[in-house]
Structure 1
Amino acid sequence: MSAIGHALAVAGSMTWEILWALILGFLLSAVVQAAVRKATIVRLLGDDRPRTLAVASLLGAASSSCSYAAVALARSLFRKGAHFTAAMAFEIGSTNLVVELGVIMALLLGWQFTAAEFVGGPLMIVLVAVLFRVLVRKRLLAQAREQAERGLAGSMEGHAAMDMSVPGEGSFRRRLFSPAGFTSVAHVFTMEWAAILRDLVVGLLIAGAVAAWVPDSFWQAFFFTGHPLASALWGPLIGPVVAILSFVCSIGNVPLAAVLWNGGISFGGVVAFIFADLLILPILAIYRKYYGIRMTLALLGIFYAAMVGAGYLVELLFGTFGLIPRERSATVLSEGISWNYTTWLNIAFLLLAAVLLVRFFRTGGREMLRMMGGSPDAMAAHDSPGRDDRPAS
């Protein structure tokens, strides 16, 4: 019982440390998503030219941070006419280039890891695009599209089908600060929390258990910390494997990344580990349902190679410029709750979150939560409350 209590204490301390940053990140993401319509996204992703992939990455960064929702949305874009490579670039951007991920990484790991994430993400997308052009044939793409058109539902399919952007014309500021804009931001904010909450809780619990129960000596031996070259070569190779087996995706893998960094994994290994949220076993099962077994194997191989390659490139680049932290002091366990800036920020942002939650439930939120895991057809029949310009009563 004492061991379980210790693990829960570690998980609780980490949760308290990152709470305000999570709320801030999701709020910024909600503001951006409220201004970007999905029809616009589909129109811009019709090929795999470099400019299109850059646009796909940026649109992904402005989209959902939930890995399951990102995978479902990428399939939806593919079915509506987006190029498969562009849809995958969007998927990578929406899980690895989002604001909330960068904020949490800076808070737990340090700004260098946030910078590495936003440098490594585009590198991974470039590698994925090159590998798709070289290895994936038109016949396989045609088979994947045929499978995608069958409309088999997966996790977060209903969430991916939702368009909660602000309706109407006018300037961005005018639409955002209108009653409909307030509603749209509240809807996106709450639905994003609902989408990632499971993975976040599981990730924190796993990170707490690993930090409390696994001795540093194990990680030091496992990551070859006494051999700098071997460690740098091994980290990006093993990082994605640890992520795949941990079943943790979205933002939930950042606390575990902090534990692994303190344990001795290389800088590039942390980056590759974070990227691998798109290859965990449940998501591989969804790929098989969406695109068939052959494309799933292609995605597994190409994504893994791109993650490893991006990890090596980031390790080399940041090492050359002396940007890799020398101290392994990621935030894993604090001394508990005290009246410091973290507590005051948590209180302020919890109040803000409460305001958004009230708006969400007063404008049809319960029905949206029920439809969240349902089919796109059910969502298409739903008239989103975010499209109602009238203020809530």
Structure 2
Amino acid sequence: MHAILHALSITGSMAWEITWALILGFALSAVVQAVVRTSTVVALLGDDRPRTLALSAGLGAASSSCSYAAVALARSLFRRGADFTAAMAFEIASTNLVAELGVILALLMGWQFTLAEFTGGPIMIVVLAVLFRLLLRDRLLRTARAQAERGVAGAMEGHAAMDMSVRGEGSFARRLLSPDGFTATSHVFVMEWAAILRDLVVGLFVAGAIAAWVPDAFWRAFFFDGHPLASKFWGPLIGPLVAIASFVCSIGNVPLAVVLWKGGISFGGVVAFVFADLIILPILSIYRKYYGARMALFLLGTFYAAAVVAGYAVELVFGGLGLVPDQADATIPAEGVTWNYTTVLNIAFLLLAAALLTRFLRTGGLGMLRMMGGAPSTDSDHPHH
């Protein structure tokens, strides 16, 4: 019982530490999605030129941070005419370059990891684009498109197919501050939370259990701690494999990244671990349904290689600049709720979340929430009032 309570206390402390950051990140994402239409995004992602990929990364960074929703949205963009490489770049950015992930990394691990995230993410996209140019054959792409057009439903398909942006003319601020803008923001906000809550909770519980129950000696041996060169080589290779086996994706894997970092994985290994959220086993199964088994294996190989290269690049650059923090300073939040800036921010942002949730419930949000798990019969935009 003591061991269970210890694990739960670590889980609770981590959750309390990141609550305000999550609400802030999802609110910002909801604001953008409330005023930018999906059809506008598709029109901008018609090829795989560097400028287009940079734009797709920027649009992805402003959208959903749930891995399942990102994968479903990327398929929806691909079906509507977006270039496949651009859609995958959008997918990577929407889970690995979002504001809430950066803030949570800074809170739990340090600003260096946030900087590494925004450095390694573009590197991963560039590597993936190069691999696609060299290895992706037209025949495989045609097969994947044919499979995508069959409309096989997957996790979060309904959510991805909904375009909840505000209709009408006017400036960004005018549309956002209108009653429809408030309603659209509240709907996106709550549905984003519904999309990620399961993975976040699982990630926190897994991290709490591992932190409490797995001895540090195991991690030190597993990650070759004490052997600097071997550790730097091994970390980016093993990090994504740990992520694949952990089943935890998106923001949910940050608490586990804290445990791995404290346990001795290299700096580049942490980065590669975080970037592997789009090739965990459940998502590989979704790729198989969306694009076919061969494309699923192709995405596994290319995403893994891109995450590894990004991990090595970050390790070399940050190591050379002396920006890798000391692992001896790594700590896992365990103090619980105390009266400090975290508590003040949590109270303020929980009030914001309550206001958005109230608006959501008063404007028919529960009906749309039920649509999230299933694919609509068409891929047309859903008007929002």
- 2: CA distance, partners of 1:288 / 1:281: 11
Counterpart amino acid of residue 264 in structure 1: G
Specify the alignment match of 1:62 in structure 2. Answer: 62
- 2: CA distance, partners of 1:151 / 1:379: 9
Does the 8 Å CA contact 1:164/1:184 hold for their aligned counterparts? yes
Counterpart amino acid of residue 50 in structure 1: P
Specify the alignment match of 2:182 in structure 1. Answer: 182
Residue segments in structure 2 that go unaligned for 5+ positions in a row: none
Specify the alignment match of 1:249 in structure 2. Answer: 249
- 1: CA distance, partners of 2:219 / 2:280: 21
Matched, 1:24 2:24: yes
CA deviation vs aligned residue, 1:256-285 (integer Å, no higher than 9, x gap): 001111111110000000011000000000
Q: CA shift at 1:331, angstroms?
A: 4.6
Specify the alignment match of 1:135 in structure 2. Answer: 135
What secondary structure is seen at the aligned counterpart in 2 of 1:297? Answer: helix
Counterpart amino acid of residue 95 in structure 2: T
Does the 8 Å CA contact 2:147/2:292 hold for their aligned counterparts? yes
Matched, 1:106 2:96: no
Specify the alignment match of 1:391 in structure 2. Answer: none
CA deviation vs aligned residue, 1:67-113 (integer Å, no higher than 9, x gap): 00111111111111111111110110111011111111111111110
Counterpart amino acid of residue 305 in structure 2: A
Q: CA shift at 1:336, angstroms?
A: 2.0
Distance 1:379 1:144, change over 3 A: closer
Q: CA shift at 1:166, angstroms?
A: 2.0
Counterpart amino acid of residue 38 in structure 2: K
Does the 8 Å CA contact 1:47/1:82 hold for their aligned counterparts? yes
Specify the alignment match of 2:209 in structure 1. Answer: 209
Specify the alignment match of 1:232 in structure 2. Answer: 232
- 2: CA distance, partners of 1:333 / 1:321: 28
Specify the alignment match of 1:168 in structure 2. Answer: 168
Residue segments in structure 1 that go unaligned for 5+ positions in a row: 389-393
Does the 8 Å CA contact 2:108/2:333 hold for their aligned counterparts? no
Specify the alignment match of 1:221 in structure 2. Answer: 221
Does the 8 Å CA contact 2:74/2:90 hold for their aligned counterparts? yes
Q: CA shift at 1:8, angstroms?
A: 0.8
What secondary structure is seen at the aligned counterpart in 2 of 1:82? Answer: coil
Q: CA shift at 1:328, angstroms?
A: 4.1
Counterpart amino acid of residue 301 in structure 1: G
Equivalences for residues 324-335 of structure 1 within 5 A: 324-335=324-335
- 1: CA distance, partners of 2:330 / 2:158: 36
Does the 8 Å CA contact 1:223/1:235 hold for their aligned counterparts? yes
Matched, 1:38 2:42: no
- 1: CA distance, partners of 2:23 / 2:379: 26
- 2: CA distance, partners of 1:104 / 1:337: 17
Specify the alignment match of 2:117 in structure 1. Answer: 117
- 2: CA distance, partners of 1:37 / 1:214: 46
Greater shift, 20-29 or 333-342, is seen at 333-342
Specify the alignment match of 2:276 in structure 1. Answer: 276
Q: CA shift at 1:378, angstroms?
A: 6.8
CA deviation vs aligned residue, 1:304-344 (integer Å, no higher than 9, x gap): 00000000001001111111112443452322211111111
Q: CA shift at 1:4, angstroms?
A: 1.2
Greater shift, 128-137 or 25-34, is seen at 25-34
- 2: CA distance, partners of 1:210 / 1:69: 27
Specify the alignment match of 1:353 in structure 2. Answer: 353
Tell me the matched-pair count.
385
| TM-score scaled by length of structure 2 | 0.98
- 2: CA distance, partners of 1:347 / 1:226: 42
| TM-score scaled by length of structure 1 | 0.96
Counterpart amino acid of residue 183 in structure 1: T
Matched, 1:194 2:194: yes
Does the 8 Å CA contact 1:34/1:165 hold for their aligned counterparts? yes
Q: CA shift at 1:368, angstroms?
A: 0.8
- 1: CA distance, partners of 2:49 / 2:209: 44
CA deviation vs aligned residue, 1:177-210 (integer Å, no higher than 9, x gap): 1111111111111110000000000000000000
Equivalences for residues 4-23 of structure 1 within 5 A: 4-23=4-23
Q: CA shift at 1:373, angstroms?
A: 0.8
CA deviation vs aligned residue, 1:336-378 (integer Å, no higher than 9, x gap): 2111111111111111100000000111110011101111327
State the percentage of identical aligned residues. Answer: 75
Does the 8 Å CA contact 1:35/1:176 hold for their aligned counterparts? yes
- 2: CA distance, partners of 1:79 / 1:225: 46
- 1: CA distance, partners of 2:316 / 2:135: 26
- 1: CA distance, partners of 2:98 / 2:37: 17
Does the 8 Å CA contact 1:158/1:379 hold for their aligned counterparts? no
Does the 8 Å CA contact 2:9/2:334 hold for their aligned counterparts? no
Matched, 1:363 2:356: no
